[in-house]
Amino acid sequence: MTASQTLFAKLWAAHEIMQRDDGTSLLWVDRHLVHEGSHHAFAKLAERGLRVACPDITFGVVDHYAPTRAGDVSPDIRRMIETLGDNARAQGIHLFDLTDPGQGIVHVIGPEQGLTLPGLVINCGDSHTSTHGAFGALAFGVGATEVAHILATQTIWQRRPKTMRMTVDGVLGPAVTAKDLALHWIALLGADSARGYAIEYAGRAIKALSMEGRLTLCNLSIEGGARLGLVAPDQVTFDYIAGRPFAPKGAAWDAALVDWAQLKSDKDAAFDREVRIDAADIAPTVTWGTSPEDALPITGCVPNPADMTGAKREQALAALDYMALDAGEPLDGIAVDQVFIGSCTNGRIEDLRLAAKVLKGRKARVPGLVSPGSKAVKQQAEAEGLARIFTEAGLEWAASGCSMCVGMNGDRVEAGKRCASSTNRNFRGRQGRGARTHLMSPAMVAAAAVAGHLTDVRPLLEGRT
Amino acid sequence: MSGWTTIAGRAVALPQANVDTDQLIPARFMSAPRSAGYGAFLLHDARQDQADHILNRFDGADVLITRRNFGSGSSREAAVYALVDFGIRAVFAPSFGDIFQGNAVNNGLLPARLTGDQIEMLIASLGANDAEATVDLATGSATIAGQTVSFDLDPVWQQKLVNGWDDIDLTAQHRDQIKAFRAARFAAHPWALPAS
Ligand code: SF4
């Protein structure tokens, strides 16, 4: 009899090629995704005269520097995009370039194209690779040296992380989303609380999430310090995958369903750490500081550093100074200069539907940008009439890419400006030098656009189905 | 890359928590080739905004003492390039970003964990000045501003730092085993290959 195993342990065992005496494992990588930022890794490969070991399971996409608005592209950005194209062509890698209908943010198109599947190990030189864990895959971000290693060998050396199960009981309230859930737990436990852990999300509230919601939740695992997040695949997962371009078909599909049915933690499996959260405790949540852990319900107030001690107090003082906020100020009412909806966290069709539900028939009081997570999302949003709702509200409807999440393509928040954003990082300078970012769900961003300040979206959704 | 066992240099304190990789190197500098040198990009915006920033005052620092969650955020290895090209060879903190610490070791930069109390003691000793620092990987100990501390370091990382090991060379020795693994995996699970 084999002992009860966690989902994580099963996935790890299925990919372990060997283990060194020191306990480090060599894992097989089923999918490797590269983007413009992978140029350092390709350069390392070229230095050694090596070729990509498995181009058939390596995929490239233009996203971080993808232009989202008409107009001139700077020579620097053009060079980044061309370098990826040159590397992909030279190595025989399938590339979703700017003209490809499959283009979009790497963590949006992986699932959308059927490249992301349950049971795989998926790597990408990007920390939000944890997103793909929503399918019950071992998916984690790596640095450039490791990208080069995967390109050269299709494997990665890893120390086995510990396991944490985060059980979310109960039901999320109206207009409370996976984004709110993620910000809630990160605020509760801390931005480094899950360091060294693989998190499996479980419980009734997780089961009830759509694939989009699970992707958002797993995406933000890294903001709580975890290497990866996981949700056991179920019918919701299988229904999402069926018929996607690179998904298995015919006999392979049938075989996949048999294998995937095993992908869950056994009943008595032991985790290194157990966390329980009650979904009923979660309200629409916003950040007030410069770390994702600086998050509170919209009904709360900016915390007072005077109530804190030591390093925590210094951190809060510095955050309030950067964010230009006063201690004790109600969060509902903080005026914003602009809004952004998009990113690999919240740039999927469901996110846009929710934001559009808030914006329908209303006007935004501040300017804003909406960048769908992929071309496919863009097309669908246009077909569903969502794009019209955004533009009629006064927001700009842009092309797909990382856009204002990171500002590499020139979509930036100006210094000193305050942005309500559906992205994942409120770090200093993340959306542009001196930019002040408040993270929240796309519904809450839409509410901020309508009100001109941070506000509770719930009243705005009353009576709207 | 060549390995190292000891450092004898100067240490400074950066008493901040959550110094994320976006602060360590803002995204706009990341299109430069490594050969351009990344040292000038380190904490660029903070250093430009504050003329008396500790790293402006002591630009020969080798060792950095800082608070929890250093290097959190993006996987950008450029954050490590910026530290290394600036001359930093060891960072002491209570916790590090998960991907950052792996990137650090791959580039010869020591991410050494100390307790929060030890860090606060060192920050207090250093204040706004620099001080002598020695670090010894073999014993896992450091003396900074006259205070001796033992740090927590994964033994695998210690080996990599000491030997300057490169994983690609190590892995190449297992080429046949990897090939066989691939063949067996896709034969047993044909669905795991992308359909075309
Ligand atoms: S959308 Fe933002 S977080 Fe996501 S991959 Fe792009 S830059 Fe990274």
Helix (H) or strand (E) holding A212: helix A211-219
CA distance A398 to A237: 29
A404 Cα–ligand 1 center, Å: 9
Specify the length of chain B in residues. 196
Retrieve residue A420's tokens: 């309500």
| B98/A225 Cβ within 8 A | yes
- Confirm whether B193 is domain-assigned: no
Q: Whole domain around residue B97: which residue ranges?
A: 6-165
A344 Cα–ligand 1 center, Å: 6
Strand locations in B102-169 (E):
110-113, 131-136, 141-144, 147-150
Regarding the beta carbon of A405 and ligand 1, being less than 6 Å apart is answered yes
A402 Cα–ligand 1 center, Å: 5
CA distance A203 to A264: 13
Specify the length of chain A in residues. 465
> Model pTM?
0.96
Retrieve residue A421's tokens: 């954003």
A425 Cα–ligand 1 center, Å: 9
DSSP assignments along A314-326, one per residue: HHHHHHHHHHT--
pLDDT in tens, B99-120: 999 999 999 999 999 999 999 9
Nearest to B168 among A43, A59, A149 (CB): A149
Regarding the beta carbon of A215 and ligand 1, being less than 6 Å apart is answered no
| B72/A225 Cβ within 8 A | yes
Tell me the longest C-alpha to C-alpha distance in chain B. Answer: 64
Contact list, A142 vs chain B (CB under 8 Å)? 75, 99, 102
Task: Count helices and strands (H / E) in chain B.
Answer: 9, 7
Instruction: Determine how β-strand B141-144 pairs with β-strand B147-150.
Output: antiparallel
Regarding the beta carbon of A357 and ligand 1, being less than 6 Å apart is answered no
DSSP assignments along A69-123, one per residue: SSS---HHHHHHHHHHHHHHHHHT-EEE-TT-TT-B-HHHHHHHHT---TT-EEE
Distances (CA, A) of B68 to A6, A105, A311, B15, B18: 30, 30, 10, 10, 6
What is the atom index within ligand 1 of the atom nearest the CA of A106?
Answer: 5
Q: How many CB atoms lie within 10 A of CB A261?
A: 12
CA distance B148 to B122: 10
**Closest CA relative to residue A418, chosen from A342, A324, A330:** A324
* Pick among B1, B14, B16, B18 to test the A interface (most A CBs inside 10 A): B18
Strand partners, A31: A122
Kindly provide the ipTM of the predicted complex, given to two decimals.
0.94
* CATH code of B116's domain: 3.20.19.10
- Confirm whether B144 is domain-assigned: yes
- Confirm whether B69 is domain-assigned: yes
CA distance B168 to A156: 10
CA distance A361 to A461: 12
Nearest to B168 among A148, A248, A428 (CB): A148
**Closest CA relative to residue A15, chosen from B179, B188, B102, B185:** B185
Regarding the beta carbon of A402 and ligand 1, being less than 6 Å apart is answered yes
Crossing angle of helices A375-383/A106-113, nearest 10°? 70
* Pick among B72, B165, B169, B186 to test the A interface (most A CBs inside 10 A): B72
- Confirm whether B180 is domain-assigned: no
Question: Between A and B, how many residue pairs show a Cβ–Cβ distance under 8 A?
Answer: 201
Structural domains of chain A in order of their starting residue, each with its CATH number: 7-274 (3.30.499.10), 285-457 (3.30.499.10)
Retrieve residue B178's tokens: 């990897």
Domains: count for chain B: 1
What per-residue confidence (pLDDT) applies to B170?
82
Residue with tokens 């001690």: A309
Residue B126 has pLDDT above 70, yes or no: yes
CA distance A285 to A454: 10
Residue owning the nearest CA to atom 4 of ligand 1? A344
- Confirm whether B189 is domain-assigned: no
Strand partners, B96: B70
Phi, psi of A122 (to 5 degrees): -125, 125
Tens-digit pLDDT profile for chain A (465 aa)? 468 999 999 999 999 999 988 889 999 999 999 999 999 999 999 999 999 999 999 999 999 999 999 888 899 999 999 999 999 999 999 999 999 999 999 999 999 999 999 999 999 999 999 999 999 999 999 999 999 999 999 999 999 999 999 999 999 999 999 999 999 999 999 999 999 999 999 999 999 999 999 999 999 999 999 999 999 999 999 999 999 999 999 999 999 999 999 999 999 999 999 999 999 999 999 999 999 999 999 999 999 999 999 889 999 999 999 999 999 999 999 999 999 999 999 999 999 999 999 999 999 999 999 999 999 999 999 999 999 999 999 999 999 999 999 999 999 999 999 999 999 999 999 999 999 999 999 999 999 999 999 999 999 999 997
Regarding the beta carbon of A344 and ligand 1, being less than 6 Å apart is answered yes
Single-letter amino acid, residue A140: F
Residue owning the nearest CA to atom 2 of ligand 1? A405
**Closest CA relative to residue A219, chosen from A399, A373, A7, A26:** A373
- Confirm whether B87 is domain-assigned: yes
* Pick among A195, A344, A424 to test the B interface (most B CBs inside 10 A): A195
Angle at A208 between CA A202 and CA A211, to 5 degrees: 90
Alpha helices for A329-441 (secondary structure H): 343-346, 349-359, 375-383, 386-393
Strand partners, A439: A421
Angle at B158 between CA B152 and CA B163, to 5 degrees: 165
Angle at A291 between CA A289 and CA A374, to 5 degrees: 110
